């Protein structure tokens, strides 16, 4: 590679890594596996070492990947929360051990521990009381998520006979069982699935509503003492034993070892356990156990020199794709899935895997009868990676999407410009059940106690055919269902009755208009005010609403052009379901056509309260600053958004100026 090509590849890698780092750390929605990301990172490290003339202090190899969200108050860490260097082979691991022993001047002991795949947090205690918890962020500044961490298992709120100051570091994770259950619920509700437990944990911990965090079943493992006053330890392992006695959940399966053979053997053993653990790990950590050795060896600006992370590759296996079957989702989308010859993968038997959509099947040229490579995305969700074309015998058959719905026999259509194939019958039994589940879900009508299993039982017993019939259910009707007694039946009837007051915003999302999510429903409800105005609105009128594009507008008009859907609304009205907006946005409001961005901490409002005020006056609250931004409302500790606004010449207003504007 010549110097020109090297510079081009270094720039390309820096851009790719920054993009995928943002998706992983800040958006909690990765697009590539950890292993693929680590390979890109290693390639960049090698090129930067070979071509030092292209050093850049802003390179992702110099800086920790995350950043602190402005949704939470910033926390400056008293002890930097550094990341770790990675190795990917036994040879690289042994080279690290030899180099570290040599630097220490002796064969030292290491603590070898599983590397939990979660979200790193700091927990601070004063005189035994938990006072603050924060995310790692960029390693120097994180996010204050104290209230959410109070709902995480394994974190004691008070410690007996505690030192004056104690700060520990741990990894918040979502147990696999909780993750699978959460995704099952989200799938039934038609919500986007979490890619893996790590991102589910991160998304759950960074909720503005701590009640949501409490529902997600998060847990933590503590793996380090960051600082302690009034007590000292000679070894890392002693400190962890102390924390365990204090009531913390401390990292399991750790051993203090020395020498290449002992350490690699234990890492292999941890790797063999991966599928049997109740949580995800993506590697093992090897770190000097004696704290004085750590002090001698020191650290770079990003990582300690006395520790390394050994990364396990994702386990992949070959098996036979016996057939492809189709499932029908809530919105009528047909999803192809693979029926596999059972194979043992990451600790479980796998016989089915997602194929995502028809475009994916065609791109990978996957055929019925193929030998295929299978892995678990995020070590959880089985997926077909590729077909093994060299093992074809000639008897393999290309898959074709059915012309009629496998659930109801109605014609299947592919909307122009979409990858999805859809059933055309809104009364399709598969759609009916998923529509009911979605309608009752928390973001929609929030009918507590009406989950997927109860909804399925109601449909199976023919007690309801659509969501309007929920409002005719009596306690006696519900007593025929398994595990329903008088009290549970009474509670569900009350919850159904309470849902009548949810308002137009939730109702529009709940009835399942294609392309209309919670935010779109809120914008439409706020502008038109009542369901009749929405049903009779023209596409052009709806498309005038900021953030509602032509396709979304056309989808709303198309939905209400179907007589069955209009009749459903009339039945809901007859049952007393509220069909007016809780907060109507007046057309021609003083902020109409204006875009605001909020940054920093406001004294008089929460972020959500300020957004509601802006939207009620016809404005739009955006999450990012651009040349199209009209105002940046800057509170205390305003961050990078303020810098960008000043660079672009966007008007910056204080909270006092905002108060004057809304008078």
Phi, then psi, of 574 in degrees rounded to 5: -60, -30
> How far from 89 is each of 92, 94, 95, 283, 585, CA to CA, in Å?
5, 9, 10, 11, 59
State the residue for tokens 């199976």: 460
Token duo for residue 199 = 């991102």
Which listed residue (4, 7, 99, 115) is catalytic? Answer: 115
Q: What DSSP string describes 411-442?
A: BEEE-TT-S-EEES-TT-HHHHHHHHHHHHST
Nearest to 317 by CA among 413, 238, 388: 388
Nearest to 153 by CA among 174, 184, 129: 174
Residues near 89 by beta carbon (within 8 Å), at least 6 away in sequence: none
Q: Compute the distance between CA of residue 357 and CA of residue 327 in angstroms, rounded to an integer.
A: 11
Token duo for residue 49 = 């070492």
Specify whether the CB–CB gap between 326 and 316 falls below 8 A: no
Could you give the count of Cα atoms lying within 13 Å of 325 in the half-sphere of its Cβ? 9
CA 157 to chain centre: 26
Q: Compute the distance between CA of residue 16 and CA of residue 465 in angstroms, rounded to an integer.
A: 49
HEC string for 245-280: HCCCCECCCCEEECCHHHHHHHHHHHHHHHHHCCCC
Q: In the annotation, is 115 catalytic? A: yes
Token duo for residue 355 = 């194929």
Q: Compute the distance between CA of residue 15 and CA of residue 622 in angstroms, rounded to an integer.
A: 24
Residues near 300 by beta carbon (within 8 Å), at least 6 away in sequence: none
Identify each DSSP E strand in 378-417 by its residue range.
381-387, 397-398, 412-414
Phi, then psi, of 329 in degrees rounded to 5: -90, 180
Catalytic sites, residue numbers = 115
């Amino acid at each position: 590679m010549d110097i020109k090509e090297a510079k081009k590849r270094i720039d390309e890698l820096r851009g790719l890594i920054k993009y995928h780092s943002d998706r992983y750390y800040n958006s909690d929605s990765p697009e590539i596996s950890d292993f693929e990301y680590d390979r890109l990172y290693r390639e960049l490290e090698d090129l930067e070492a070979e071509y030092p003339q292209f050093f850049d202090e802003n390179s992702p190899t110099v800086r920790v990947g995350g950043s602190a969200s402005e949704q939470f108050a910033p926390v400056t860490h008293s002890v930097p929360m550094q990341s770790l260097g990675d190795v990917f082979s036994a040879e690289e691991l042994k080279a690290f051990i030899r180099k570290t022993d040599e630097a220490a001047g002796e064969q030292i002991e290491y603590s070898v521990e599983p590397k939990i795949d979660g979200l790193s947090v700091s927990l601070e205690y004063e005189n035994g009381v938990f006072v603050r918890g924060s995310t790692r962020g960029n390693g120097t500044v994180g996010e204050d998520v104290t209230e959410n961490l109070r709902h995480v298992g394994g974190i004691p709120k008070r410690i007996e006979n505690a030192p004056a100051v104690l700060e520990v570091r741990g990894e918040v994770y979502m147990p696999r069982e909780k993750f699978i259950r959460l995704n099952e619920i989200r799938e039934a509700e038609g919500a986007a699935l979490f890619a893996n437990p790590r991102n589910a944990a991160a998304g759950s911990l960074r909720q503005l509503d701590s009640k949501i965090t409490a529902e997600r079943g998060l847990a933590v493992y503590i793996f380090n003492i960051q600082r302690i006053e009034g007590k000292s330890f000679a070894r890392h392992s002693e400190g962890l034993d102390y924390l365990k006695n204090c009531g913390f959940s401390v990292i399991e399966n750790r051993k203090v070892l020395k020498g290449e053979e002992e350490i690699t053997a234990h890492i292999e053993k941890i790797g063999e356990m991966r599928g049997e653990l109740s949580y995800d790990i993506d590697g093992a950590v090897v770190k000097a156990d004696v704290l004085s050795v750590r002090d001698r060896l020191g650290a770079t600006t990003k990582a300690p020199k006395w520790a390394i992370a050994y990364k396990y590759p994702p386990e992949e296996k070959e098996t036979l794709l016996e057939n492809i079957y189709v499932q029908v989702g809530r919105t009528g989308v047909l999803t192809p899935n693979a029926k596999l010859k059972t194979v043992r993968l990451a600790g479980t038997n796998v016989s089915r895997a997602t194929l995502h959509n028809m475009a994916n099947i065609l791109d990978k040229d996957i055929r019925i009868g193929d030998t295929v490579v299978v892995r678990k995305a995020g070590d959880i969700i089985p997926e077909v990676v590729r077909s093994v074309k060299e093992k074809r015998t000639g008897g393999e058959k290309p898959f074709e999407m059915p012309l009629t719905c496998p659930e109801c026999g109605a014609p299947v259509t592919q909307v122009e410009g979409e990858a999805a194939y859809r059933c055309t019958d809104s009364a399709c039994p598969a759609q009916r059940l998923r529509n009911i589940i979605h309608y009752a879900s928390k973001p929609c009508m929030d009918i507590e106690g009406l989950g997927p299993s109860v909804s399925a039982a109601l449909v199976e017993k023919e007690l309801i055919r659509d969501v309007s019939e929920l409002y005719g259910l009596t306690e006696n009707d519900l007593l025929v269902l398994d595990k329903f007694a008088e009290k549970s039946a009474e509670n569900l009837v009350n919850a159904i009755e309470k849902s009548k007051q949810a308002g137009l915003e939730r109702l529009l999302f709940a009835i399942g208009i294609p392309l209309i999510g919670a935010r779109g429903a809120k914008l439409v409800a706020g502008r038109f005010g009542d369901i009749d105005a929405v049903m009779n609105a023209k596409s052009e009128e709806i498309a005038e609403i900021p953030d509602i594009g032509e396709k979304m507008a056309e989808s709303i008009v198309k939905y209400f052009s179907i007589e069955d859907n209009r009749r459903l609304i009339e039945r809901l009205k007859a049952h007393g379901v509220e069909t007016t907006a809780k907060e109507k946005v007046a057309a021609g409001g003083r902020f109409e056509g204006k875009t605001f961005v909020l940054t920093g901490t406001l004294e008089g409002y929460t972020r959500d309260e300020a957004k509601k005020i802006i939207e009620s006056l016809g404005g739009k609250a955006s999450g990012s600053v651009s040349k199209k931004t009209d105002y940046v409302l800057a509170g205390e500790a305003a961050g990078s958004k303020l810098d960008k606004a000043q660079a672009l010449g966007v008007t910056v207003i204080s909270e006092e100026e905002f108060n004057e504007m809304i008078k």
